[in-house]
């Protein structure tokens, strides 16, 4: 089957937070389309399971342990991928963490936000995403082509009672990072876009959303009446990572079951 403009044959990609959840689904989509995909995550055991699954389905992949709160490590790992393969075509800055509950609970209210939690979430969700984009941009500028995709959230586009302050703040910042980087990178033919997921069934916050009561609460906010499976991120990932998005840059696209239309 020919994938045409969605084909990634011969291309090299990297995905942070790729051991599970959305990151793994994104990596699977890229591998299915023909890319050699570097899976990057702090979870070494999860990385090996993810790589084995991709290889079992015929995909090409490699792994590297990466803590995205370590800026030097991000640069070293991304540089290593580009140097080994002689190119770097798609980088997805996906790794992120929760900031705890939103303001509907006392511990999530603004006066209760813990300094350590705030700093940790900013270090991963904002600085980690920025440095991943920065490291990718260096190589893509040189080759005058590429795709950078940053994972934000609908909580970065609107207020969200279920999400903590640091999470909403960092995801909103990612949306503007995408705009800023897209303007700079346009002359190099590098497309920079964001994905803003609504509620998906993942392991973030220890998989709290998989609890039936929590899942029902999130589902009640979604016009489609349910939360998404990780498989449902794959189509948009492939669009933004492939030649099919050749005239798309600087935008963050919600994939949210209609939340942003309310």
Q: What is the pLDDT of residue 22?
A: 97
Q: Describe the strand order of the beta sheet including 252-255 as a list of residue ranges.
A: 60-65, 36-41, 12-16, 90-93, 146-151, 190-197, 252-255
Residues 6+ apart with CB under 8 A from 232: 200, 255
Q: Where are the domains of the chain?
A: 8-256
Task: State how far the alpha carbon of 131 is from the alpha carbons of 91, 149, 225, 253, in Å.
Answer: 12, 13, 36, 21
- Gyration radius (Cα) of the chain, Å: 17
Q: What is the pLDDT of residue 196?
A: 98
Residue of 103, 165, 167, 188 with catalytic role: 167
Q: What is the pLDDT of residue 232?
A: 98
Output DSSP code: residue 42.
S
211 in Cβ contact with 105 (< 8 Å):
no
Q: What is the pLDDT of residue 99?
A: 93
Q: How far apart are CA 56 and CA 229, in angstroms?
A: 21
167 catalytic residue (yes or no) = yes
Give CA torsion, residues 154, 158, 161, 164, to 10 deg: 70
Please write the tens of the pLDDT for every residue from 146-172.
Answer: 999 999 999 999 998 889 999 999 999
Q: Residue ranges of the chain with pLDDT lower than 70? A: 1, 204-207
Burial class (CB in 10 A: 0-12, 13-18, 19+), 213: exposed
**Fold classification of 8-256 (topology level):** Rossmann fold (3.40.50)
Q: How far apart are CA 196 and CA 129, in angstroms?
A: 14
Q: What is the pLDDT of residue 206?
A: 62
Look at phi and psi of residue 257 and say left if phi exceeds 0, alpha if psi is from -120 to 50, else beta: left
The model's pTM is 0.95
């Amino acid at each position: 089957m020919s994938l045409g403009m969605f084909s990634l044959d011969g291309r090299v990609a990297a995905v942070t937070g790729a051991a599970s959840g959305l990151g793994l689904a994104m990596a699977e989509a890229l591998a299915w389309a023909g890319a050699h995909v570097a899976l990057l995550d702090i979870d070494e055991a999860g990385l090996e399971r993810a790589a084995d699954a991709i290889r079992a389905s015929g995909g090409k992949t490699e792994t590297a342990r990466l803590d995205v709160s370590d800026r030097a490590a991000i640069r070293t790992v991304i540089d290593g991928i580009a140097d080994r393969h002689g190119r770097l075509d798609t980088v997805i800055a996906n790794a992120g963490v929760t900031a705890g509950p939103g303001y509907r609970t006392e511990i999530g209210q603004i006066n209760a936000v813990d300094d350590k939690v705030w700093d940790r979430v900013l270090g991963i969700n904002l600085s980690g995403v920025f440095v991943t984009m920065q490291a990718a941009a260096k190589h893509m500028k040189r080759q005058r082509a590429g795709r950078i995709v940053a994972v934000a959230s609908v909580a970065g586009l609107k207020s969200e009672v279920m999400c903590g302050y640091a999470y909403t703040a960092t995801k909103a910042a990612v949306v503007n990072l995408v705009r800023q980087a897209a303007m700079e990178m346009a002359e190099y033919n590098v497309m920079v876009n964001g994905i803003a997921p609504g509620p998906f069934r993942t392991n973030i916050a220890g998989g709290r959303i998989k609890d039936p009561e929590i899942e029902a609460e999130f589902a009640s906010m979604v016009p489609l009446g349910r939360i998404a499976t990780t498989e449902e991120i794959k189509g948009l990932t492939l669009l933004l990572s492939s030649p099919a998005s050749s005239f798309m840059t600087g935008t963050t696209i919600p994939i949210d079951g209609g939340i942003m239309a309310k």
